[in-house]
Amino acid sequence: MALSPADAKLREQQLRTLRRKWLKDQELSPREPVLPEKKLNPVERFWANFLQKGSLWRRATFKTYNVGVSAVTSILIPLWIIHYVVKYHLEPTPNVVVTRRPLLFPGDIIEETEEMVPPIQQPSGDHHH
């Protein structure tokens, strides 16, 4: 059964009205959705209190983090770069920072204390290896 043009137009208008009403009903009010209050376990309660905006612990943690980051970026990294350059690029002999002291033999004089190195004592002859 075919609809007359007037009936088809009325049906389309009714469908549009129903769609608009349905879409309007899908919008949530600021009070929705109403959910039951969630029970938190002790760990979740701690983190919920810890992470509240403006809490003392959150501010202290943020401040400590900022101090740590600034210390690493402004002190430790530049010191490491300076140490690397001095150690590997400014030494007269590359890759050597620790210089060897001269060997000391019995009878030599130690420069710092001006003492003489005592002679080596020979083991007694009755021990055989």
Q: pLDDT digit of tens for each residue in the chain (129 aa)?
A: 678 889 999 999 999 999 999 999 888 888 888 888 889 999 998 888 888 888 888 889 889 999 999 999 999 999 999 998 888 777 666 565 566 777 888 888 888 888 888 888 877 766 665
> What does the alpha-carbon distance between residue 104 and residue 117 come to, in Å, rounded to a whole number?
8
Q: What pLDDT is attached to residue 82?
A: 92
Q: What does the buried/exposed string (b/e) look like for 86-121 if buried means 16 or more CB atoms within 10 Å of the residue's CB? A: eeeeeeeeeeeeeeeeeeeeeeeeeeeeeeeeeeee
Residue 12: CB atoms within 10 Å: 10
Instruction: Quote the strand ranges of the chain, DSSP E.
Output: none
Q: What pLDDT is attached to residue 72?
A: 93
Q: What pLDDT is attached to residue 56?
A: 86
> What does the alpha-carbon distance between residue 58 and residue 54 come to, in Å, rounded to a whole number?
7
SS3 116: strand
Angstrom CA distances, 68 to 62, 79, 86, stand at: 10, 15, 26
Q: What pLDDT is attached to residue 67?
A: 95
Q: What pLDDT is attached to residue 23?
A: 94
